[in-house]
Chain A
């Protein structure tokens, strides 16, 4: 990645720190080194006529497996060699090795090391990981009234299971990587072989392999690192917590990225319109869904433009105001000492404060914040003559409109890009609003997601992809996979059969 390539010095330091494990050359040193940590257990376990040395990290190992599956079986048999030991344990993937690197790595991923003597260099490694994960719960960020109520959890195994059982085909391929010098996070790239464009898959794989990072906590780290333009305010990978959505995009020919420890899957490549499509749209009648999508689309435009327009009109273009509205506007602003721009910035910031406070506080306290903010601050500031009540309505509506965006990250972006619009509206009136809109357009035109145009299907204009963008056509119309993805198999199902119309009374 560009960002990291620029600073090669730091990079060296990081790798030095992590290469320590390789300096340990003997089993003895390894044991010494591990014992420095108090949660490392190392003891002799006597069985019939000999004893076994067990070593493992206690927090990583499931005690029940150890006692029920391993020690019980080992007790019964007469064991002479590691080979016997391996055969007697009814667990898969038992390894015999003396490679110190492998041993250390396995120990850290929840294996138990078994030897006959403390000084033995060869050992058996048994997998007994402790998996304490949250149970699958209802999606909270992308909640839908109807439709499946499952969401991803932090465990990549569970998440893969959620996807696999919805897509039981051998073509679903999972490529796993380990990313992060310290975190050793498991990253899985999922795609459907034969549908997904191999070029896209290679791009993703290559970018993930190129990641140089120490602690990869969440999938959003990956978004930030592998995006085509990491400086852009716009998220270029879609994230979702719904397995059903992940599966449906896999079927479309997109790529899903899962990260262990993150309940959010990433979808690539993404385009702008997808960020305004809630997955619930697919559960509703296409007409209703399209209507809501259009409302959502307009609410975004409204949310970005309405306060800047207010500022522009009041600061420069009073001619525009209808004569019947003039009285309302003037009387509401008469006592306000601030110019429209300050008034607007003040209120916008207030709303942002409320949102931020609500987001940081526990849910129960958070609710009251909304009420306190909305009612008390709003009315009080109007009465104190700090803002006009017309603007209060406008700002509240704009904030409301920005919350209709189904994707949280996009909502943040929309709220933030209002501020440059405001500034330009203050400097150049309507011209400023249009100019900043042009900057926005130019930026969106330049953006790509995995090298595919981000603004598609608006530009490059692809009427076929329009069928599922701002307006959602019935399923029977969407017989082709999106052109944006350049899929290897474009046909989803037979259009003829799906759209066949019977004659009257037939």
Chain B
């Protein structure tokens, strides 16, 4: 099944950092605060760290599997472990999951655009423009995708500075008393938080594209740590800014924070922020869509360019048929829930099975 990825198409190990961060930070960081606050209140920032530790363990497991199977991605490993039929059906599920992820990222972002900037905007137009852009990037190959992930992290970094402005209205008593919630509440919050960390499972697909893949593990961990830093700082600033009851009523707390920013030349920052967010969303859509189409190519040997066009058409059609915010929320709920089980149940199981497989292989 397929040859090794030639060296020319591989990327430097440290870019793993950006690949991991870029795919983790997305629409979620605009709205996660009001979700994780539900169970654990303003102690939820601890839950972010707890969730991050979970993700670190998972990444460790993923590398445990991948490092032993050099030049192989998840699709090879699945067929190797479960045989052709089960392996391929699992692969198809993975592909559909990635496809849905990119759909949800795109759709949720367009929803923000609709609510905040252009209520009458045509889904068809924005969706097409975005997908054209995404296809243009993916057609450039994995190196270009990694480039967009890199720039998608570096260029929007200036948005961190916007977290300083709302501190003018910070109410430092909000965070006190620390640890006023039970462990179970914290874990519940952490579970909700894991949803914002999803997407790193694309590592399973792009692993063969990394130069000296074994060395990339530390960068992957750094990536998760950086994402955690972004989430924690955003969460803390919004906790200082909003009251606990107030934040529950806000759908996009981060955008609300931007609303208060007033600079001499720009009075309302959220319009710039939302637009710049395109650069943050782009790696999300691109990488997952690439992963999905790559899977199809690996399993069924189909032309990746054609798969992508089919995907684009599917996404547009679904976007036009599923209307109403409730339905979109349902889909995104479904995808994130599936993602949770995929990541927190399937990966450990896979790790164990692989471990047993390894032992059996060695004993032979």
Contact = CB atoms under 8 A, between A and B. Distances in A.
Interface of B: 11-12, 15, 113, 117-118, 121, 126, 129-130, 133, 136-137, 140, 143-144, 147-148, 150-151, 264-268, 271-272, 274-276, 278-279, 282
Contacts of B133: 435, 438-439, 442
B278 A321 contact: no
A1 to B, nearest CB: 21
B264 A445 contact: no
Contacts of A323: 267
Interface in A435-493: 435, 437-439, 441-443, 445-446, 453, 455, 458-461
A393 to B, nearest CB: 15
A455 B154 CA distance: 14
A317 B271 contact: yes
Interface string A421-443: 00000001111011101110111
Contacts of A431: 113, 117-118, 126, 274-275, 278
A168 interface: no
A459 B150 contact: yes
A135 to B, nearest CB: 47
A189 to B, nearest CB: 24
A430 B140 contact: no
Given A439-B136, A442-B133, A445-B144, A322 B118 contact: no
Given A322-B267, A445-B140, A433 B275 contact: yes
Interface residues of A, number: 28
A189 B272 CA distance: 48
7 contacts: A320-B266, A320-B271, A435-B129, A435-B130, A435-B278, A460-B12, A460-B143
B151 A441 contact: yes
A319 B276 contact: no
A320 B273 CA distance: 12
Contacts of A33: none
B266 A430 contact: no
A441 B276 CA distance: 13
A459 B155 CA distance: 12
Contact of B126 (A320, A428, A439): A428
Contacts of A317: 117, 271
A316 interface: yes
Interface in A294-326: 316-317, 319-323
Nearest to A451: B8
Given A430-B271, A460-B12, A442 B137 contact: yes
A320 B268 contact: yes
Contacts of B272: 320, 430
Which of A321, A322, A441 has the largest count of B CB atoms less than 10 A from its CB? Answer: A441
A455 B136 CA distance: 17
A459 B151 contact: yes
Given A317-B271, A442-B137, A455-B147, 15 more contacts: A316-B117, A319-B267, A320-B266, A321-B267, A434-B278, A435-B129, A437-B279, A439-B133, A439-B136, A441-B151, A445-B144, A445-B148, A446-B144, A459-B150, A460-B12
